[in-house]
Amino acid sequence: MKTIIAACSQNLSGSRASVQAALRTLLAVPWPSQRDIRAALQLLAVLQWVLSFLMLGTVSLVVLIYLLFTSFWLIPTLYLAWIIFDWHTPERGGRRLPGLRRWTVWKHFRDYFPVKLVKTHDLSPRHNYIVGSHPHGILCVGAFCNFITGSTGFEEMFPGIHSFLTTLAGNFRLPLFREYLMSGGLFPVTRRAIGYLLSQNGTGNAVAIVIGGAAESLSCRPGVTTLILRNRKGFVRMALRHGAFLVPSFSFGENDLFRQVVFEEGSWMRSIQQRFQKMMGFAPCVFYGRSLTSSRSWGFLPYARPITTVVGEPVPVPKVQNPSRELVDRYHEMYIQALLKLFNDNKTKYGLSETDELHIL
């Protein structure tokens, strides 16, 4: 009996010692600092954004199609009926939720890169504006962060001005994704949607358009500042019809967020990309960034590179119901000159050299 008691006491002592050793080891592990916690939150904020824009629409569509063949078929059926009823809402003001712009997650998103907004001139709330956003980059991070999230203080920097951002009309045909986009203040880049914001929504509206679009993303790579703009004149015609002033903006650092495999003009891969872009509205870019666990390994997250979006001087535009081609060309050239001036005046301040030039195709 004494032998059994002694053995039990020895086991308890050994167990107590093991627990104490485990506790000492646990306490010896350094706790994450506030800096580490902030970095993790910033990374998670960017992760949710990338996944939302790359996968939310497709995943939602697949799930709803799957549910059609299950006992939950009523859910996708009712939602499909709702989409049919609500089909034109994106082009009629949408359903913007102001509270969404103030989410704390967008501040973490901003600080990951970080993204900064620079004002060079005032914008009067007595006018409406079309803001040209350049360059497109891969995912338009600068345009989204500055004109949608509000985390960089656009509406505080420009009192009385409400910013909106346009994107591909096809995105608003994807279930759930369309609701996500509308709640943030995104609109389809169509004449009807832009016309509504510039004519039916009062004054003080700034509609941002990424003018280069998908075609420009095919040439996006670090150290290259090439814009697709020379033959893009529809936004000027819209500005003239509604008397909306033209405002150039440039996001320095946008092209540094990803690395892209750029196929030369005339190659069969470039031809496939261009045909796909014409059919679907977006270009299938072959790009990579960092991984979730390390900035040294490949992944789909953008690199943490600073982005500075500079908003330039507005170009006054008269209201002309049916502008002639000559008038459109004149204001288009005025816009290009304002954009070139904006780029040249700020390039050395935000990471470029004096010899860097803005190439406009």
| Contact residues for 5 (Cβ-Cβ < 8 A; gap 6+) | none
DSSP reduced 3-state for 294? coil
Q: Which of 147, 137, 140, 149 is nearest to 111 (CA)?
A: 149
Is residue 164, in this structure, part of any structural domain at all? Answer: yes
User: What does the pLDDT look like over 144-180, one tens digit per residue?
Assistant: 999 999 899 999 999 999 999 999 898 999 999 999 9
DSSP 301: B
**In a 3-state reduction of DSSP, which class is residue 190?**
coil
pLDDT at position 340 is 97
Tell me if 97 is assigned to some domain. yes
Find the domain containing 117 and state its range: 34-360
DSSP one-letter string for 211-224: TTHHHHHTT--TT-
Q: Count CB neighbours of 231 within 10 A.
A: 8
**Alpha-carbon distance 217 to 109, whole Å?**
22
Examine residue 268 and state whether it is found in any structural domain, yes or no: yes
Q: For residue 292, which of 29, 27, 51, 92 has the smallest C-alpha distance?
A: 51
* Residue 334 identity (one-letter amino acid): M
Count of the separate structural domains present in the chain: 1
Q: Coil, helix or strand for 248?
A: strand
Cα separation, 111 vs 7, whole angstroms: 59
- The answer to whether residue 236 sits within a structural domain is yes
- Which pLDDT score is estimated for 344? 95
Judge whether 22 lies within some domain. no
The model carries a pTM of 0.86
pLDDT of residue 273: 61
**String of DSSP letters for 100-146:** HHT-HHHHHHHHHTTEEEEE-S---TTS-EEEEEE--TTT-HHHHII
Cβ–Cβ under 8 Å, residues 145 and 151: yes
Residue 54 CB contacts under 8 Å (≥ 6 apart), including other chains = 300
Tokens 């003018």 sit on residue: 211
Per the DSSP assignment, residues forming a β-bridge with 249 are 133, 311
DSSP 18-80: HHHHHHHHHHHSPPPPHHHHHHHHHHHHHHHHHHIIIIIHHHHHHHHHHHHTSTTTHHHHHHH
In terms of Cα–Cα distance, which of 90, 107, 167, 99 is closest to 133? 167
Q: Running along the chain, 361 residues long, what does each successive block of 10 average in pLDDT?
A: 45 57 61 84 95 91 94 94 93 87 93 97 96 93 94 95 92 92 92 92 93 79 82 96 97 91 66 65 73 86 96 97 96 97 96 89 88
Residue 243's alpha-carbon distances to 196, 198, 201, 268, in angstroms, are 13, 9, 14, 43
Whether the bond between 135 and the residue before it is cis, its omega within 30 degrees of 0, is: yes
Residue 91 inside a domain? The answer is: yes
Q: Which pLDDT value is given to residue 4? A: 43
From residue 238, give the alpha-carbon distance in Å to each of 53, 244, 277, 331.
Answer: 27, 8, 23, 11
Residue 140 one-letter amino acid = C
What letter does residue 148 receive in the DSSP assignment? I
Taking the C-alpha atoms of residue 201 and residue 14, their distance in angstroms, rounded to an integer, is 76
Q: Strand 359-360 to strand 226-227: parallel, antiparallel, or no bridges (unpaired)?
A: parallel
Residue 60 within a domain: yes
Q: Are 290 and 46 in contact (CB under 8 A)?
A: no
pLDDT score at 8: 44
Which secondary-structure segment (H or E) carries 330?
Answer: helix 325-346
Residue 11 domain-assigned (yes or no): no
